[in-house]
């Protein structure tokens, strides 16, 4: 259980790290802090005293307690000791993330940078804790995969504080739209479109789509799914779309798909567009239990062209993801931003641009032709 002293101390640190308090700003008085946290003056003084001792705060006789500009202290450290870059991803060891991380690490290590890797597990509270850790240490730049990027982010103040402190950051795979950051992403809307278009051109008219909708990638892929139906004049039954969020990914998609395919509500689905290849593995397990075969009974298109496409019993048609190339591009981009910052060229000509990868469908054996159709005029 957290002590009252620790609670007060942590709250003041958080206010410093999210920019509520800026360097050399006076913090609330002891009386105000006592009232805010419902603690004694002794507890407040202990918390403030510890933060002063650790360099977070400083006192001025007769004036009060103020926030230390910790960047001024960090700037006195020689550059050779400060070549640190943080990489924040939703996951570290799962799926395609190790390949992305290795691509970035390869480039950064060649430039003499030490890389610290953090995982949010796609959880906003974990993201906040990581951002506080990064803001309290001397990092030169940050590569971020956003957490639940389809939602309004409660940690925006921390990113704004990174900007105020002139710590460059970029985002990969997705981005927080309100920040308009430099980003390295795929055209996921087009990716969802070509997944669906492939099945439509093979003659499939009843196509299910399963999409993770708390991340921007999933919402854009679903948008492409819808656009393909409209482009080809193909009516879409809303019940053919399954959506889920991070917390539901191990249960809801398969539960809903089983009901869609095998209950009394079955609608003759012949094709399936999946959010990613990892999801397809779960689909294959379900179909195997039901004695259904791919593509004989159901054609499937995945996304990311991951290692799953070759290790499953059916070689999976999937949209290619740049993976290692994206990691390398992210590393080169953050290094460019750091160099521009160090040369005082933050704005103006030659500004570092975002990168958007165009999707490509890799054809294998998980889809079959029913009857080709042509686009309507």
CA angle 299, 300, 302 (to 5 degrees): 160
Separation between Cα atoms, residue 188 and residue 196, nearest integer Å: 12
Q: How far apart are CA 123 and CA 63, in angstroms?
A: 40
| Per-residue pLDDT tens digits of the chain, which is 377 residues long | 678 888 888 888 888 888 888 888 888 888 888 888 898 988 888 888 888 887 888 888 888 888 888 766 555 544 445 699 999 999 988 889 999 999 999 999 999 999 999 999 999 999 999 999 999 889 999 999 999 999 999 999 999 999 998 999 999 999 999 999 999 999 999 999 999 999 999 999 999 999 999 999 999 999 999 999 999 999 999 999 999 999 999 999 999 999 999 887 667 899 999 999 999 999 999 999 999 999 999 999 999 999 999 988 899 999 999 999 999 999 999 999 999 988 876 554 457 899 999 999 999 999 999 965 555 54
CA–CA separation, 90 vs 215, rounded Å?
10
Same domain, 96 and 118: yes
In a domain, 367, yes or no: no
Has residue 374 been placed in a domain?
A: no
Domain span holding position 37: 4-68
Distance CA 34, CA 36 (A): 6
Q: Whole-angstrom distance between the N-terminal and C-terminal Cα of the chain?
A: 67
CB 361 within 8 A of CB 195: yes
Residue 373 lies in a domain: no
Domain contains 105: yes
State whether 193 and 182 are in the same domain.
no
User: Same domain, yes or no, for 86 and 156?
Assistant: yes
User: How much is the pLDDT for 82?
Assistant: 67
Asked if residue 217 is part of any domain, the answer here is yes
Q: What is the CATH number of the domain that holds 44?
A: 1.10.10.10
In a domain, 375, yes or no: no
pTM for this model (two decimals) = 0.83
Average pLDDT, the chain: 90
Q: Is residue 363 part of a domain?
A: no
Q: State whether 45 and 97 are in the same domain.
A: no
For residues 193 and 309, state if they share a domain.
Answer: yes
Q: How many domains does the chain have?
A: 3
Asked if residue 300 and residue 262 are part of one domain, the reply reads yes
């Amino acid at each position: 259980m957290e002590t009252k002293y620790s609670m007060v101390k942590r709250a003041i640190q958080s206010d410093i790290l999210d920019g509520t308090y800026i360097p050399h700003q006076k913090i609330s008085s002891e009386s105000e802090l006592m009232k805010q946290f419902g603690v004694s003056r002794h507890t407040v003084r202990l918390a403030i005293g510890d933060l002063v001792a650790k360099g977070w705060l400083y006192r001025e006789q007769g004036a009060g307690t103020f926030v230390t500009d910790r960047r001024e202290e960090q700037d006195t450290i020689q550059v050779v000791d400060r070549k640190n870059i943080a990489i924040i991803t939703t996951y570290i060891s799962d799926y395609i993330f190790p390949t992305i991380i290795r691509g970035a690490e390869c480039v950064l290590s060649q430039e003499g940078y030490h890389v610290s890797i953090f995982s949010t597990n796609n959880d906003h509270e974990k993201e906040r804790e990581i951002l506080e850790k990064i803001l309290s240490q001397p990092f030169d730049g940050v590569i971020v995969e956003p957490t639940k990027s389809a939602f309004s982010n409660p940690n925006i103040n921390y990113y704004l504080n990174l900007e105020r402190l002139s710590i460059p950051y970029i985002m990969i795979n997705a981005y927080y739209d309100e920040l308009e950051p430099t980003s390295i992403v795929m055209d996921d809307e087009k990716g969802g479109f070509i997944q669906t278009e492939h099945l439509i051109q093979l003659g499939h008219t009843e196509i299910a789509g399963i999409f993770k909708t708390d991340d921007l990638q999933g919402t854009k892929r679903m948008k492409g799914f819808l656009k393909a139906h409209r482009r080809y004049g193909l009516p879409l039954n809303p019940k053919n779309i399954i959506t889920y969020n991070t917390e539901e990914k191990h249960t809801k998609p398969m539960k809903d798909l089983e009901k869609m395919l095998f209950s009394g509500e079955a609608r003759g689905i012949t094709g399936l567009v999946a959010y990613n290849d990892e999801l397809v593995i779960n689909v294959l397990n379900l179909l195997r239990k039901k004695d259904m075969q791919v593509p004989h009974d159901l054609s499937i298109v995945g996304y990311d062209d991951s290692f799953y496409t070759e290790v499953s019993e059916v070689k999976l048609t999937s949209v290619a993801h740049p993976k290692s190339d994206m990691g390398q591009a992210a590393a080169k981009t953050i290094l460019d931003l750091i160099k521009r910052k160090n040369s005082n060229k933050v704005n103006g000509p030659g500004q570092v641009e975002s990168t958007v990868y165009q999707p490509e469908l890799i054809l294998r054996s998980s889809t079959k032709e029913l009857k080709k159709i042509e686009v309507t005029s």
